[in-house]
Chains A and B, each alone.
Chain A
Amino acid sequence: MEISILRGEEAQSYNVELENVTLLTVLNHIKTKIDPTLTYSHGCRSGVCGSCAVRVNGREALMCEYKPSDGDLIEPIRNTRVIRDLVVDSGMVERFNCSANTWSEGSDKGNVSEEDASRIETQSDCILCTSCYSACPVYALNPNFIGPFALTRVWRYVNDTREESSNAKLAAVQTNGIWDCTLCGECVPVCPQNIAPKQDITMLRMKSVMMGYQDPNAAMAFGGGLNF
């Protein structure tokens, strides 16, 4: 099987005699047996550490969960600086989670019903692999967009019945946040954990409207001319 890996400006092809193994196994084979300069991130090899997201033929995938076929093109994820080969700057994880206040404010509430617990089960499955961030087209226009993984995380805390107040969290995502999303849904199919950030963003919008926030785009739709 021949696979190509984008290394800087150019793609390099490697021929490997491996069948029915994960892409990560193939890359480990290349690095330890063929070309030790090939550079990529990996960790748990079982889909929970979130280190090994790349793009395969233009679509995000975890290397430890994807089984490659002949002719595949492997590229680093998008919307961030490539450090070397498939390794990228992951500074967006800390930056966007901080600007969106994605944390618990602390709660003494002990009991939570099974049903309430299940409301945040999927969202808290996030492994921060940043596949959704790579797939999001909004970054081409707005590099400060808080984006899918951080907004899902906001919804995970806003929707947690143990949290007493979500006002500050909702306030933090009004600018460069929920209203900047185009709801195109590109983030949904690429999530290895079956999270749907688009849906979580929609929920945050509804909650925001209930709390008295306005969609700035809706105001713009009136032409911005009704200046009473």
Chain B
Amino acid sequence: MSSNICIEIHELSKKYKNATHNSLNKVNINIKAGDKFGVIGPNGAGKTTLISIICGIIPGSSGNVNFLQTENIKQQLGFVPQDYAFYPQLTPVQNFEYFGALYNLNKKNISDRIDNLLPILGLEKVANKKINTFSGGMKRRVNLGIGIFHEPSILLLDEPTVGVDVQSKNAIMKLLHELNKNGTTIIYSSHHLSEAEEFCNTIALIDHGEIIANDSTSVLLKTYHSKNLQSLFIQLTGTEYRDV
């Protein structure tokens, strides 16, 4: 086991109640500290289940997830779900204040981080406007802002750029690069394969609840003689629809 592994997933399986098949089947993954780790796969492959178990939202049926370099994991973990997970009746500042307090930050820390984060997210002008008046891109940035507000050492993102405009997508990806440069381990799930290929240094391709490929992006492309991640994806998962 390499010393810089921060998350070790061992024989992890998940079977939902009344389901006929396992959503995850004996998954084994090691994620290194400072990685930009991409989890990709077709619809229903088990990506969200895997991320949810890592975050502690749902328990696995068997196997385990070990955080090797972190104590008080909830304080160190940041999560950006696919759904908007904030209060749209409130302003970005009010949301940051609330979630910041829940992450045990004090008043001064919260105030400082709001001042730092608003310009980065491009939300200074709308800082005190209710979020329910925002565009999809602005809402995604607020969603991301809450996930990174407490400066987590591990950040999990489930489809963070879905349904946003090019500018917002660019800003989000730029911010993620910046966070990673500063030492944040990023676990990233997406349907945007070109985005994942560009962003992630390591990829785990998941299908039918099993990891069918897991290595650095460049090694995977070389091994499977693929020109890009999309052709690799089709090569390994086939062309059949998965959502019917």
Asked if A pairs with B, the answer is no
Q: Footprint of A on B, CB under 8 Å?
A: none
Query: What is the interface of chain A, defined by CB distance below 8 A to chain B?
Result: none
